[in-house]
Structure 1
Amino acid sequence: MAYVKRSWSKENFSCSFCLGVFSSPVSTPCGHNFCRTCINKFWDGQVQYKCPVCNRMFHTRPDLQVNNLLSGMAAQFRTSVLIKKQRCVEPGEVPCDICTGTQLKAVKSCLVCFTSYCQTHLEPHQRFAHLKKHRLVEPMDRLEDRMCRKHNQLLELFCKTDQVCVCQFCTEGDHRSHPVVPLKEVYKVKMAQLGKLEAEVPQMIQERKLKIKEIKDTVEMSKEDANRERADGVQVLTALKRRVKKCRDDFNQTVKEKLKTTEKQAEDLIKELEQEIEDLTNRNLEVKQLSQTKDPLHFLQAFRSLKDPPPTHWTTVEVRPPSYIGTLRRSLDQLEETLNMEMKKQRDAELKRVQQYEVDVTLDPDTAHPQLILSEDGKQVHDDDEDEKKNLRGNPKRFTEYVYILTRQSFSSGRFYFEVQVKYKTGWCLGVARESINRKGEIIETPENGYWTLYYDKDGLVFNDDPDVRLPLRAELQKVGVFVDYDEGVVSFYEVEARVHIYSATGCTFSEPLYPILNPFLDEEGINSAPPDHLTC
């Protein structure tokens, strides 16, 4: 095949008549080249035949033959120019499946060949008769996926019933009675939905970024809380450790001093006895010597100077071992006093921490037992006289058998705290309950049934469970605080005025909203109606 120099321009392959690239180029006897059609049209109107370029005259009309070499070179040049004019494929466009090396943009796709063609490679489909019968469509990628596998037809419709793409033949078969619409129609609707989603996605991303920041901030806050708690704990425990060490040292010192006193007493007594033994030994020697004296004068004079023996009281003298009874107890009492002081500080600190989660709650009249009366502000509740009992049992939210009442507010996460005034009450029950508790008929107040409550009457204080947990009364009950950590599963009760922790239920599982719950108990012949005769939130 002829080779076309890359440096040649269009002028080298242009006809001087039409100024286009040669089409079926022919050469005159003088060596000039023209398109066959162009030179024939020029000579058809002439009497004499001459070359339009050099004006050489010919006696007869030349019999022109196609210049095959120039024709091939012109065709090759035409193709190279056409290729240069075509754009290379860009992202999102369909590439030509035939191009090798640099792929050009496809201008048509053939549904018979399942191939996409650029303008150059599409030429056979425009020239050959059997290829002209092929169905050409706008460029499409993944042509095989666009064809119906059953009918081998283009998927141009959308079945609303089955939400699938179908071809025209599918609407005459399995989808005969189904509503179908053109793909472009569904495409517009879905694109509108996608546009809405596209607008919402940045918002969703931002929300999630804010949530990530919130989580990270929570972790940092937790770290700070943990470090602060650890520092406080280490400080307290170190102080207690020093106090225990001092208590141990004081105890050892007390025992040591008692032992030292006893040892000193024994040592002094032994020295005194040893001195008396020495004196008695010397006197005994003097007595022996005097007993051998024969001279009465000397004997009497010596006898007068003889010392009297020490009194014999040593049989009653003894060294008693020290008594250590109560020594350790007194040391432990001192330690207990220190611990109690520290415990009081910690109880105060703990109560202050939970009180920061205090919430404002009001009682819900729709849940109140018919025999209960609420104050106008919804903060107080007490029982009504039996004669004035209201018929309010129709409300499904209302307690009908037990004199309970819930608050309007519920809590489904985090922490919350509320206080109830119980001073002067001889009986009551309070705490939290889940939303789905039984409000009709018999009620069993246990965590399993959705109740986490503290119960008080003449028999004492109890956390309702199975079995019940009886609790010591460490202080007069005046105001009870209830703290709930929903996520940690903790319910704690406090005596607020005495700053005393009463009880904590741990390991609880909460899966629905929790409501504060109260039961003021009935007025039993005035026993439970001393002022104030109500529970106050």
Structure 2
Amino acid sequence: MASANTSWSEENLSCTICLEVFNSPVTTPCGHNFCNTCIHNFWDEKLEYKCPLCNELFHTRPDLRVNILLSEVVDRFGISVRVKEEPCVEPGEVPCDVCTGTQLKAVKSCLVCLISYCQTHLEPHQRVTVLKKHPLVEPIDRLEDRMCEKHDRILELFCKTEQVCVCLLCTVTDHKSHPVVPLKEEYEEKTAQLGKIEAEVPLRIQERKLKIKEIKDTVELSKKGAHKEIADARQALTALMGCVEKCLNDFNQMVKERLKSTEKQAEDLIKGLEQEVVDLTKRMSTVKQLLHTEDHLHFLKAFRSLKDPPPTRNWTTVKARPPSYEGALGKSLDQLEETLDMEMKKLHSGDELKKVQQYKVDVAIEPLPLSAPRFVMPVVGKKVKGGGQWNHSYYNYKQSSEIREDRNDLSVLARQGFTSGRSYFEVEVKGNTKWNLGVTTISGSISDQITFKPSHGYWILTCNKDGLVFSDDPAVRLPLKAELQKVGVFVDYDKGWVSFYDVGARVHIYSATGCTFSKPLFPILCREY
């Protein structure tokens, strides 16, 4: 009697559905064996019941029982599936969705099944005719993200109108009239656009670096000019005593304040430019990373945030304006003469003029010159909410004492404006923490909706709980070391200057230079409750 060949291989004892060693094997009426769970899961997904191997059709779902003999064979030989020469999944790699127990590294992902397969479990897609038609791609994690949330179909098209990825059913529903293209076509178009962005970013960075150098050079020249002016002033004034020494100190303070203002302005501009350089560098890095991805969906989703450049400032017209020191020394000497003359009058005059001059300010800070009209108006007091007083006094070249009060919030506007020359006025602000003070080209009523900016005809210094602000575009925030008692405003109409002073501390607050005046200017004061 010939002996039976009892040499078994793992292939003889493996389920053709899961490709693993049989687990509770059952036999179909046609004689083929499968894992009990595998064959039932297979039939649960079908509308008809047939054998996965021979395709024999059963009219009713067979009542299967465990093949006891085959189960004993599996247990006796103790066979386990060993997948040779296939790597296990490492951190960051895509695992096989079919493997049970130890997961192996996926080698392909099916865009129809939405499952990633290792080499072993990919075999049906390489053998079965129907499965061969499924598009396979490099392993992709989270394949469910590629499904349309509304129709549960794969996202394979791109809507040009709404710039989103859509499925085939979307094109006949929500996006029926919208032009759509395959993802690959849109990917290639966006890649070309991103390439242009990549080429533009270095140019923008270079432009900003050049602007930074230009501003730094301007600041350096400003420093040299400031040091020269201080040295010239020291040589001319060191021989004087008393008031002359005071004049020198005031002059130095003016130059340093102007230089400080220029440096602060330059510092803000440089910070803005450097920040844009950092942002653009990060953008270029992100663009480069995105250009190397082959994940069309990830690329198109990320592209929406990168297609438009971040908002940046137009730096082509921005310049750091160096302070002007032209004629500063001569004007300071003129002011010194006026100061000495005022002191002499205080000693020899006991009439009403002496009382009036108590309101005058001995401001020896450029740009206030001797020739600027300095006529004090009678102090006007008016009761306001809370029982306080709001005092204001004007100086202008017409010596006009007419003022106009607008509405009930005590907004005060001079009736007489000026169209040339230099003018100076003061306002007592002691005890008031919210006010707006300066000049305007608006001669009529003051609108509640008006924005105090030079572009709207207002050159205004504002005081509020946050401190002092010159209302420009952008606004210029200014340090406030102590509570202001009285503010002086000097205007040089022809040169385009508007300057503000802390009268009590004899300190220059801020100067707006390079202004263009084409209409009469009127002093304006607005009190806020």
**Looking at CA atoms only, which structure, 1 or 2, has the larger radius of gyration?**
1
